[in-house]
Structure 1
Amino acid sequence: MVYWMRDPTRRFRERPFYRPEEIDAACERLVNEFLLKHRGKVEYPLTTDDLTILIERNVRDLDLYADLSDDGTDVEGVTRFAVGHQPAIAIADPLSSDERRANRLRTTLAHELGHAKFHDEVFQMAFSSGDLLSEAREAKIVCKRETMIDAPQTDWMEWQACYASGAYLMPRSAVHDLLRPAVTASKRLPPFHVAGEEAPAFIEVIIDRFAVSKEAAKVRLIKLGFLTTEVRTPTLFD
């Protein structure tokens, strides 16, 4: 059950609040159910084709080669909401057309899916209550390059979509299962500092298994508590 709270940005009267573990669970459930039906087993990475099919089953339209230049030169994805309809997702053509940016494309697709799955309800409520302009029957979220992987929590909508993107591509259970042997071998408890000797190996393992960028892997490991940017105070057990 979603908990609703006052929206400090005043974009909406109320906004949905999700704990990180709630987003993790919802994303992993959706991906696992899809993979079992689509492949017959749950295995990673989630390919671009996998992700495209998954999104097409959860939105009314997916445009992978959209001209988003009117929204800005640094816009890579847009999710559109309409009264009584599923969301529609558009991805900037230069991103989809460049094979060298495949990881970035998948991150963007997962980010926009996060908006579609976690934010449609708040837009539908705003449409029906008149919180948006009375004549508005459509609205959109414009997502820029710099906030696709991580965003400040004050921008709750982008933060949730960023978190969901990582959760779709690198599900919590799979990450824990993958890193458990390495953590055990270190004979230390996480989090490990991002500048420490363990961090590069952890990040590389995530990159190899889930086919994500170094930045996406690092952010996900920080979110899940395996890595930290904070300096730890040494203890008797270090």
Structure 2
Amino acid sequence: MEKVKFLKPEQIENASLNLIAQYEHKFGAVDKPPIPVEEILEAHLGLSFEFEDLTATFGVPDVLGATWIQDQRVAVDQSLDPFEHPTKEGRYRFTIAHELGHWELHRHYFLAAAAQLSLFDEEPKPPIVCRTSFRKAPMEWQADNFAGYLLMPGDLVFKAWEALHGNREPYLAKKEMADLSARWGLAENQQPTVDIARKLAREFNVSGQAMQIRLIGLGLIKTKEPDPSLFSI
């Protein structure tokens, strides 16, 4: 298969916004969270979806999702079924969005590779398999970023932030993070989720960690004290 090309963050974000725009053209505006990722997958893209015991399917642990490009099928591990495991809804929705990222960003690689195979090759074509324990390849990083942009579009996040916070001023989270780390005994490389990220996460049906990463990326949460101005007195 052709090597996966580097994509800038803005290219990945634009791809996610384009997918939402295509969905809106068919089904109406998405003007508030949560983003209907299941409807985008099934109703808009026409992909089939099911829960499956992916550990049994692939014979390895920690497989959360898989996409069969040629079969136009997506599966999520049954351990993430939000009806059976409501506390995992954020992880479930992120996995769906991650697989949509593969479909939008990477399916052409697999279709091109399949076209080069012999017409008499009857070997089943491998799916994109997403595991938690493997060091992430560029394809996986891109799908993760796509998922974050899709589930938490910037305009909706800013709108929700203003409704909750009153303005677009960033929140300096250093003290709250230090207090939470001390209370929970976290290591220095572990970052606790602050309260405002957890509140917005519930609105967008994502995990607190995913929302906090997005808020930091948008500059709405600061984890360090701002540098003093050269002109301050």
Instruction: Sort the TM-score into its range (normalised by shorter chain).
Output: 0.7 to 0.9
Return the match for 2:7 from 12, 18, 25: 18
Measured against aligned partners, the alpha-carbon deviations of 1:162-198 in whole angstroms (never above 9, x if no partner) come to 1111111101222233335749564xxx5x6653459
- Aligned-residue offset at 1:52: 1.7
Question: CA offset at residue 217 of structure 1?
Answer: 0.8
Give the conservation status (yes or no) of the 8 Å contact 2:67–2:74.
Answer: yes
Match 1:81 to one of 53, 56, 69: 69
Cα distance in 2 between the residues matched to 1:232 and 1:129: 54
- The alpha-carbon deviation at position 35 of structure 1 amounts to 4.5
- Can you give the 5+ residue segments of structure 2 that lack an aligned partner in the other structure? 178-192
- 1:224 aligns to 2:218 (yes or no): yes
For residues 59 and 159 of structure 1, do their structure 2 counterparts lie closer, same or farther at Cα, with a shift above 3 Å needed?
farther
Deviation track 1:66-87 (CA, whole Å, cap 9, x = no partner) reads 12113323111111223xx6x3
Is the 1:24–1:172 contact (alpha carbons within 8 Å) kept by the matching residues of 2? no
Asked if 1 retains the 8 angstrom alpha-carbon contact of 2:161 and 2:168, the reply is: no
Between the aligned partners of 1:228 and 1:14, the Cα distance in structure 2 is 36
CA distance in 2, matches of 1:27, 1:185: 23
SS at match of 1:215: helix
Equivalent residue number for residue 121 of structure 1: 108
Q: Say if 1:27 and 1:167, in contact at 8 Å, map to a contact too.
A: yes
1:38-85 residue CA offsets vs partner (Å, 9 max, x unmatched): 355522112xxx32221013254212x212113323111111223xx6
Q: Report which of the two has the higher share of strand.
A: 1
Residue 206 (str. 1) matches residue 195 (str. 2): no
CA RMSD of aligned residues (A): 3.2
Separation of aligned partners in 1, 2:227 and 2:19: 40
SS in 1 for 2:174: coil
Counterpart pick for 2:146 among 164, 175, 179:
164
Quote the Cα distance in structure 2 between the aligned partners of 1:117 and 1:43: 23
**In structure 2, distance between residues paired with 1:41 and 1:112:** 20
State the distance in 1 between where 2:195 and 2:78 align: 34
Residue of structure 2 equivalent to 1:8: none
TM (norm. structure 2) is 0.72
Q: Secondary structure at the match of 1:15?
A: coil
Q: Which amino acid aligns with 2:152?
A: M
Q: Give the Å deviation of 1:233.
A: 6.3
Question: Identity percentage over the alignment?
Answer: 27
Count of aligned positions? 207
Report the secondary structure of 2:34's partner residue. coil
Contact 1:76 1:108 in 2 (8 A): yes
CA separation in 2, counterparts of 1:183 and 1:157? Answer: 38
